[in-house]
């Protein structure tokens, strides 16, 4: 099968490897333009090493992109981690259509920050969807879904790399097999169950210490590693990353530092406390909590936020 792979990063690279391992003919790879000073995209590097043509248009909607795409005469388009919005002319160009990976159980959590919001909102289960993309954002018919549990300690990083990443690669290959067999489902999404989540930015990541400690904990997990949960100390921005939840009433005020040690910084909250283990002070690299304590001379009874 002649496949055009559109994607980026490590996920796109692994999908390319999986496609070639099963003998598919990947006739071209599309990746976003290079960013000045950034490392080369892993998918781009892998494709070049394998002698596969690589295209990096500024916008997939540009008219000349379709002409070159059509010349490739693809049987199937595969979207593996795509942040651009593709026009229907590109999506419908392959003879068998185009399939797309999305890291949620659609129609829930449409949008590019699906993993962040699933954790922030306290979901205990999520998954991946392979869909037939249409003109909307993650609105196309569903081909295949696979479920995954969100553990109480999962962060965006662990949920993606340990669960949704490998599930997604596996599901793309399984979907292609269903297409080969003529058994690929095309199930319309239930719009009554649909949710669309805006991109998760620093504005969404500001900690309100007056919220229940479980919500604060979910916000920190749901913004780790990006964009990082934001609070402040002594008027300076402080991002919090790795932490542990301890449930149980505490006598200190929410946001108050109860104790600091090599284990971490213990901060009081509403209904419990957090053991903060990794932070990033303003304009500095990430530090362990113990390093930060020494850096700023952190004292008990100081308050965050």
Query: Mean pLDDT of successive 10-residue segments in the chain (305 residues)?
Result: 97 98 97 93 97 96 93 98 94 98 98 97 98 97 98 98 98 98 98 97 98 98 98 97 94 95 92 97 95 93 95
Q: What's the burial of 89, exposed, middle or buried (CB within 10 Å: 0-12/13-18/19+)?
A: middle
Q: Which CATH number, 3.20.20.210, 3.60.10.10, 3.40.50.170, 3.40.50.970, labels domain 2-193?
A: 3.40.50.170
**In this structure, what token pair is assigned to residue 220?**
């920190």
Element (H, E) at 5: strand 2-7
Element (H, E) at 7: strand 2-7
Enumerate the CATH 3.40.50.170 domain ranges in the chain, comma separated.
2-193
Enumerate the CATH 3.10.25.10 domain ranges in the chain, comma separated.
202-296
Residues 202-296, CATH architecture: Roll (3.10)
User: What global pTM score does this model have?
Assistant: 0.95
Give pLDDT, residue 262.
Answer: 78
């Amino acid at each position: 099968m002649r496949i055009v792979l559109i994607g980026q990063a490590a996920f796109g690279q692994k999908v390319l490897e999986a496609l070639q391992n099963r003998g598919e003919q990947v006739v071209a790879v599309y990746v976003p333009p290079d960013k000045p000073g950034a490392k080369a995209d892993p998918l781009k590097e892998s494709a070049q090493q394998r002698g596969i043509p690589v295209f990096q248009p500024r916008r997939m909607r540009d008219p000349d992109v379709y002409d070159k795409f059509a010349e490739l005469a693809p049987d199937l388009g595969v979207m593996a981690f795509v942040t651009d919005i593709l026009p229907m002319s590109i999506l419908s160009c392959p003879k068998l259509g185009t399939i797309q990976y999305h890291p949620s159980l659609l129609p829930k959590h449409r949008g590019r920050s699906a993993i962040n919001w699933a954790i922030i909102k306290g979901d205990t289960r999520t998954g991946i969807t392979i869909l037939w993309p249409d003109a909307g954002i993650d609105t196309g018919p569903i081909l295949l879904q696979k479920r995954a549990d969100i553990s109480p300690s999962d962060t965006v990083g662990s949920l993606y790399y340990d669960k949704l990443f490998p599930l997604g690669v596996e599901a793309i290959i399984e979907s292609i097999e269903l297409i080969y067999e003529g058994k690929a489902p095309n199930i319309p999404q239930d719009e009554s169950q649909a949710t669309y989540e805006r991109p998760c930015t620093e504005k969404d990541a500001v900690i309100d210490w007056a919220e229940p400690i479980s919500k604060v904990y979910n916000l920190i997990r749901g913004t780790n590693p990006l964009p990082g949960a934001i609070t402040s100390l002594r008027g300076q921005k402080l991002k919090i990353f790795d932490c542990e939840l301890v449930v149980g009433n505490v006598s200190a005020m929410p946001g108050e530092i109860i104790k600091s040690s090599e284990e971490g910084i213990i901060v009081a909250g509403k209904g419990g406390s957090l053991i903060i283990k990794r932070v990033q002070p303003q304009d500095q690299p990430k530090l362990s909590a113990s390093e930060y304590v020494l850096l700023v001379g952190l004292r008990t009874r100081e308050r965050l936020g």
